Structure 1
Amino acid sequence: MTEEKQIVVTRVIDAPAEQIFDVLTDPARHQEFDGSGMIVSAEANIPRLQAVGEKFSMNMHHESQGGDYQMENEVVSIVVNELIAWAPARPGEEPPGWKWIYLLASRGPNTTRVVLTYDWENVTDEEIAANLPAIPAEALEESLNRLAAVFA
């Protein structure tokens, strides 16, 4: 038996892939579709994400993390209007191995299938791995619901 190390949720959103990609690549808008409720805000003046290796910081809050804290996300995959993925880490540290992946598949001029994956298969630290997944599937589903609401 293999242990599943990712959560995958899917939703069809009534918006073109280009518009959804625009929202996903704008860190200032991430709080709008965060279903976990942990994102407080993006750091000011973060440009639109365009390339692998770019980093963006998010101000976060969660009681299990001691209240307020910050995460620095590094873009690990990006294909315009199709895919964006980032790996979070504490500022100045290497990502511990989990990542967020948004895959977009156009289903016509105004409809897009969005697949959101929370993947921790590359986490090697046993202490971190023991606490994953940190975000439940319901929060990922809520993220897609909130992303859909952006276009309602």
Structure 2
Amino acid sequence: MHTVAQDSVSATLTVALPAARVFAVLADPTTHSAIDGTGWVQQSADRATLTEVGQIFRMDMYHPNHPNGDYQVANKVQVLDPPRAIGWLPGYRTDEGRLDFGGWTWRYDLTPLGPSDTEVTLTYDWSAVPQSIREYIDFPPFGPEHLTNSLHHLAELAGSHSR
């Protein structure tokens, strides 16, 4: 199931896994390419587990419409509430080496439905994107099915981590 609001899109899936296991997979940046429903995330440039708000983790990306094709994002952890919520603000390094952010966020909310079931909601929010960026990027830059695909990938990955 997915929902499209004015400036966000979300998808929800109930998985037969404990919230702590699902959260552990999300807090490991090396799993994000396998979770990604768009195929844009290539691999994590940082392997450290996400443990604090403000932490930066870089991801190697590919998008055919990006000027370079291959590029890198620097994500800043905005929400970290194990095992209930994790989210980040994608950004990039400017030519001067400063981190800049476009205003869109990714967030996972996990609701335990008992000891072995979890409702997972993935939200992509672009409400803070300035008009100057909206003039050359259409939001969302993918269909809502990509969020549903990501949740299914997450469920498969978290299930395989349990064995």
TM range (shorter): over 0.9
1:104 partnered with 2:110: yes
Deviations 1:45-86 (A, max 9, x none): x21101110000000001011310000000011101000010
Choose the corresponding residue for 1:85, options 75, 84, 87.
87
Residue of structure 1 in register with 2:33 after alignment: 31
Name which of structure 1's ranges 82-91 and 124-133 shifts more when overlaid on structure 2. Answer: 124-133
When the two structures are superposed, what TM-score results if normalisation uses the length of structure 1?
A: 0.92
Identical pairs, percent: 34
Displacement over 4 Å in runs of 4+:
none
TM-score (norm 2): 0.86
Letter in 1 for 2:132: E
Structure 2 match to 1:70: 72
Q: 1 CA distance for matches of 2:147 and 2:64? A: 19
Please give the alpha-carbon distance, in whole angstroms, between the structure 2 residues aligned to 1:19 and 1:105.
Answer: 12
* 2:108 alignment partner AA: Y
- CA-based RMSD: 1.4
Q: Structure 2: 5+ residue runs without aligned partners?
A: none
Q: Is the 8 A contact 1:96 1:125 kept in 2?
A: no
Equivalent residue pairs, number: 149
| 1:122 alignment partner, one of 108, 115, 128 | 128
Q: Quote the Cα distance in structure 2 between the aligned partners of 1:140 and 1:117.
A: 8
Q: Write the letter of the residue equivalent to 1:118.
A: Y
- Structure 1 residue 21 corresponds to structure 2 residue 23: yes
CA contact (8 A) 1:97 1:124 kept: yes
Q: Distance in 1 between matches of 2:99 and 2:53?
A: 17
Q: CA deviation at 1:137?
A: 0.5
Mapped pair 1:54 → 2:55: yes
Amino acid at match of 2:139: L
Partner of 2:154: 147
Distance of 2:124 and 2:24 partners within structure 1: 20
Q: Which moved more, 1:120-129 or 1:33-42?
A: 120-129
* More off after superposition, 122-131 vs 35-44: 122-131
- Measured after TM superposition, the shift of residue 117 of structure 1 is 0.2
Offset from partner CA, 1:98-133 (integer Å, 9 cap, x none): 000000000111110000000000111333365211
Paired amino acid for 1:148 = A
